[in-house]
Every structure is written in structure tokens, then in C-alpha cells.
Amino acid sequence: MSSYNRNTLIEDLMNQTEAILKKAIEWQLIPHSKFALRPSPESWSANECLQHLNSYGRYYLPAIENILSKSQDSETSNHFSPGWLGDYFTKLMTPAPDGKFSKTMKSPKDHSPKTIIESHLVIAEFIDQQEKLLQLLKKAEKIDLGKNRVGISIAPFIKLKLGDVFMFLIAHLVRHTQQAERALASVKLK
């Protein structure tokens, strides 16, 4: 397993989040009729991809904020070593260099979009969440990413290191924003 310099890791995660935020701002110009259109019956639309990500953000962002507000770290490590489970989840989410997924998986029922919501609302929530994530990453610069732990959404009693949660969450964001981009590229308005 890799070990990371905490500041370098947080800077990299912030850069990835800022790139995602920039895409989301551009997506505000896309009409709902295109943003909500599925490329095929079995594929998600860009709208559904963001709804899925928003559902994870509704869980993880408050959980991370809670941990950061309680943290009393005075001496923090400048290095972060992922845990084996967090490392596994992050690698599972991380797209290959060609943008393809090494493994496809079924989304948990609680995080699957059930209806199409107006795209401007979905995108606005997504933008808000990315801005909040950037704020949380900034606060984490002074926190030991290995000592503080967050429960995972599908089983909150399983707790991962804060650094693992940030890495997983952002890999998940990258994965599904790339999926949203592919959906947008493949749909054609009639």
C-alpha cells in the first residue's frame, strides 16, 4: 500500500474536486431535455449520475463535517497510509486511465435515482456539494487523516480513516462525472 504526504494528497484531492466543479458549472448550460436523456434504456443519464452522487454527498459531507468539528488534533502526522479496506474501495471506484471501469457494480438501492428531477436543481445541489467538499478538504489540512474515522454509508458501523473516505468519495465523483460526460456525448436531441 502507498503512503502519501498529507498536504500533497489534500492538494491533489482539491484539484480533482475543482475540476469536477468546473464541469458542473458548465453543465448548467445544457438543456434538461439532453441532461436527463438516457443514452440507452439500461444506462443512466447525466442527471441520474449526479442524483446518485448527490445522495452520497448527503451522507458523507455531514459525516465528515461532524468528525472535523470534533477533532482535537494538536500533533498531526504529515503522512497518510490508507487502510486495507479504504484502499480497496478507492481502487474499486477509480476509473482506468482510458476512463473505463475495471469493475462494474450495482448501485445500492438507497443511492439509486428513482425519478428524474429537474436538471437545474440536481446540478445546483451538486455544485453546492463540491464547494462544501472543498471547504472540508481545506479544514482537513490540520487534521490527522489516519486517526479520525467515518462510518461508511452502506454500513455506518464500519469506519474508515478520514483520508480513505476523502479518497473514495473523490474517486467515486470522478467515476460518475466521467459516466455523465459519456452519457451527454452519446445522446442526441430529436
Total domains in the fold of the chain: 1
Q: Are 64 and 165 in contact (CB under 8 A)?
A: yes
Q: Are 140 and 162 in contact (CB under 8 A)?
A: yes
Q: Could you give phi then psi for residue 143, rounded to 5 degrees?
A: -115, 145
What residues contact 117, with CB distance under 8 A and at least 6 apart?
47, 51
Specify the pLDDT at position 21: 98
Per-residue model confidence as pLDDT tens for the chain (190 residues): 689 999 999 999 999 999 999 999 999 999 999 999 999 998 999 999 999 999 999 999 999 999 999 887 655 778 899 999 988 888 888 876 655 655 565 665 665 677 889 999 999 999 999 999 999 999 999 888 999 899 988 888 899 999 999 999 999 999 999 999 999 999 865 4
- CA dist 40 and 23 (Å) reads 23
- CA dist 172 and 133 (Å) reads 13
Domain with 117, as residue range(s), is 4-186
- CA dist 176 and 27 (Å) reads 14
pTM reported for the whole predicted model: 0.90
Looking up residue 110, the CATH number of its domain turns out to be 1.20.120
Cα 187 to Cα 106, 109, 136, distances in angstroms: 22, 25, 35
Specify the pLDDT at position 190: 43
